[in-house]
Amino acid sequence: MKRTIAPGGGEGATSGTPRALAGFTAGAALVTAAVHLYYNSIGLISELSFAALHFGFFGLICALIYPIHPAREHSRLLFALDAVLGIAALGCGLYFLVAEDAYWARGGKMEGADIYVALLSILLALELLRRVMGIFIPILILVALSYAAFWGQHISGVFRFPGISVEELIARSYFVDLGLFGDIAQISMTYVFMFVLFGSFLVKSGASEFIIDLSRALARRAIGGSGIVAVLGSAMMGSISGAAVANIATTGVVTIPLMKRSGYRPTFAAAVETAASTGGPLLPPIMGAGAFVMASYTQISYLTIAAMALLPAILYFLSVIYLIRMQALKDGLVDFEDEDARPILAVLREGGLTLAPVVMLIVLLVVGYTATYAAAGAIIATIAFSWLTPNRMGLRAVMDATITGVRNATPTAILLISIGLLVGVLGTTGFGPTFSLMIIDWSGGNLLLMLLLITMVSLLLGMGLPVTAAYIVLATISAPSLADLITTSNMVEALTSGAVPESVTMMLTLVDPEIGTKIAAGLGPAEARELLASLPVELRAALRPEMLDQEVILASLLAAHMIIFWVSQDSNVTPPVCLPAFVAAAIAHSPPMATGFAAFRLCKALYIIPLLFAFTPILSGDWGEMLTVFVPAVFGLHALSAAMMGMLERPLGPFGRLVAVGFGVVLLWPLAAILKLPVLLAYVVWVGQDWRLRRASTGLPRQPSPSAVET
């Protein structure tokens, strides 16, 4: 039976969905959008109450567009069951509005139908999550809930939890902001929904076509040009959609056939699109849902996070472009020309205004509007600017964009609502802080080893969790320990500088009465590190604001979360569950698993660039310092890519690969810029000489233009 992919990823309604159901779904989507727009602009009810409505409306829509079974289109009984479940989800959301005040008036005690509605809400959330994300996450949540209520009290060691009653667990999951309607759901109903809706309006206004045309114009004659089109297009489109699957579904249908026509193997073409789309959520101004969660966790503004994410995102896409170009050189695909690409000026003249709302969004954020208000203003700007282009958005187009936006937001909304159950358990039981302390202990205070441990955990989570869920879980259990260790290196510098505040000296004497004498005599880096490692975590936390500027502390916290956010992206390319790679493979007609592994190979920068977050000031906020890291890193990543591919401008032998590794390590190492400059110049000379030799060579095969090659 034929299945279709619903907007935003995952299996959606089948092609035979009755017209009446489609109409009802569209109506429900419009009402859902209206309610969310009303709350995000006026907000006359509590955040918990609106989070309950958020669950109710998106639960209804999810039940309608994600069938309980593939045979639903042939069964009225299954249709009726889905309708009942959807209405039940809406009812659970509405019930919260009338039951919340009474629950708290009774001192937090459930009575009457409370426990039944709360339990039904949990079960519905897990069932809907199964439909949009598969069975793994619901099982993980059930294990966590049972740990809190049942078996946690029967284990020994640091993870033993005395347990809470089932009734208390259900109450916390429904009535308290530690479950379904907590902080994560509130991020979904505000920032995530508004930005997904904005992305839908942009696409409807013609932005996707403009992005593809501009990408083809920029790379029309470049070596590896068809792959570069995929990277540029997916970068720009991904920054708007914030979702890899939606990105591939939009740009991949153009870029993957183009790459195949230009001579790339289907598996490599699909892998390129997957790797490029994976980077979309990393690129401002509209990043993935994880960026909004990061803003909530760190209390750092979304605008600041987006600004700091720009240079690392550029590095990521450059790394993918390097690998594409080197693969083209290896395969002899050096004579690419996209004959259907239009001149850059013509593309900009015709469609440039479609991205004007993105500029409006940035301006509104910069002048101080909240992210939700900025997104609302950008949506209005999209409609207004569309009337200056051939794609004028009338009432019908506005309704279509709204319906599509709600559908696109559904998987993420259900995921973020449901994952709140897991986050609540991690907080209630203390599992997260305990695991965080264990990571510090395992790493022995070594930051590089801790990064390796976090990366390994991310790989394991990525085999079963989507990106946002992997980031939330990993950030909850490891971000505090990682931030602590990053700031420890700054505290070592402060102790060895000799300018230690008296308050710090007094606090340290609690550990070592002779510390004052040692500090006066001068501590070496090893002694300072040993001293800090011996301190309890609580004391280190108390010393931190005394020894470091607030900007340094915030930069370290941002670095910790950004590291986790980046390595969590490997969920997109980690078999056996890597939906973006599978979607790209379906378009390219390539083996899904082979595509996933090929994409994983192209995404190595997801593990290299986070090292810069930990050991360099690339996220410091000082653009001068950030650029002194960024510029050498541009060439360092090129050198490492050459070593991996065995190709510079010409093939590299074993010795050439070692030399390239040496250049890459030095240019990425946290050294002073003045020390890197001679190495950078030497590498530029080497690449330039290799480029001249390749150009002088006549032995490379020529590749016909795309129009002359059969698809």
Arithmetic mean of pLDDT over the chain = 86
pLDDT-based confidence at residue 172 (cuts at 50, 70, 90): very high
- d(C-alpha 38, C-alpha 50), whole Å: 11
The pLDDT tens digits of the residues spanning 538-569 come to: 777 788 888 888 888 888 899 999 999 999 98
Using CA atoms of 657, 660, 665, 666 in order, give the dihedral in degrees to the nearest 10.
140
* pLDDT higher than 60, residue 71: yes
Claim: this prediction has a pTM higher than 0.85: yes
Q: Confirm if 118 and 175 have CB atoms less than 8 A apart.
A: yes
| % residues pLDDT > 90 (the chain) | 40
Q: Confirm if 246 and 283 have CB atoms less than 8 A apart.
A: no
The pLDDT tens digits of the residues spanning 433-459 come to: 788 878 877 887 788 899 999 988 888
The pLDDT tens digits of the residues spanning 363-414 come to: 998 898 888 999 999 999 999 999 998 889 999 999 999 999 999 999 999 9
* pLDDT higher than 80, residue 515: no
Three-state SS string across 605-619, please? HHHHHHHHHHHCCCC
* pLDDT higher than 80, residue 358: yes
Q: How remote is the C-alpha of 444 from its chain's centroid?
A: 29
Question: What's the pLDDT at 230?
Answer: 87
* pLDDT higher than 50, residue 9: no
- d(C-alpha 498, C-alpha 488), whole Å: 16
- Helix and strand numbers (H, E) in the chain are 33, 0
Question: What's the pLDDT at 266?
Answer: 92
Q: How remote is the C-alpha of 9 from its chain's centroid?
A: 15
Q: Closest Cα partner for 420 from 683, 695, 173, 166?
A: 173
- d(C-alpha 667, C-alpha 250), whole Å: 36
The pLDDT tens digits of the residues spanning 562-620 come to: 999 999 988 888 877 788 888 899 999 999 889 989 998 899 899 999 999 999 999 98
The CA R_g of the chain, rounded to the nearest whole Å, is 27
By three-state DSSP, how is residue 340 classified? coil
* pLDDT higher than 70, residue 426: yes
Question: What's the pLDDT at 442?
Answer: 84
Q: Confirm if 93 and 185 have CB atoms less than 8 A apart.
A: no
- d(C-alpha 53, C-alpha 193), whole Å: 13
Question: What's the pLDDT at 18?
Answer: 62
- d(C-alpha 136, C-alpha 276), whole Å: 26
Backbone angles phi, psi at 5, to 5 degrees: -95, 120
* pLDDT higher than 80, residue 709: no
* pLDDT higher than 60, residue 16: no
* Helix 467-496 / helix 395-429 crossing angle, nearest 10 deg: 60
* pLDDT higher than 80, residue 334: no
By three-state DSSP, how is residue 135 classified? coil
pLDDT-based confidence at residue 640 (cuts at 50, 70, 90): very high
- Give the DSSP letter string of 87-99: HHHHHHHHHHHHH
Tokens of 293: 């969660």
Q: Taking residues 28-42, report their average pLDDT.
A: 92
By three-state DSSP, how is residue 581 classified? helix
pLDDT-based confidence at residue 185 (cuts at 50, 70, 90): very high
Out of 61-75, 410-424, 595-609, least confident range: 61-75
pLDDT-based confidence at residue 634 (cuts at 50, 70, 90): very high
Listed ranges 128-137, 148-157, 228-237, 496-505; the one with the highest mean pLDDT: 128-137
Angstrom CA distances, 136 to 85, 128, 420, 621, stand at: 21, 13, 16, 39
Q: Is the dihedral of CA 449, 279, 598, 320 positive or negative?
A: negative
Tokens of 588: 């390219």
Question: What's the pLDDT at 114?
Answer: 93
Question: What's the pLDDT at 700?
Answer: 46
- Kindly state the greatest CA–CA separation across the chain: 85
* pLDDT higher than 50, residue 702: no
Q: How remote is the C-alpha of 696 from its chain's centroid?
A: 44
* pLDDT higher than 80, residue 210: yes
pLDDT-based confidence at residue 77 (cuts at 50, 70, 90): confident
Q: Taking residues 286-304, report their average pLDDT.
A: 86
Q: Taking residues 355-362, report their average pLDDT.
A: 90
The pLDDT tens digits of the residues spanning 469-505 come to: 889 989 988 888 898 888 887 788 777 876 777 777 7
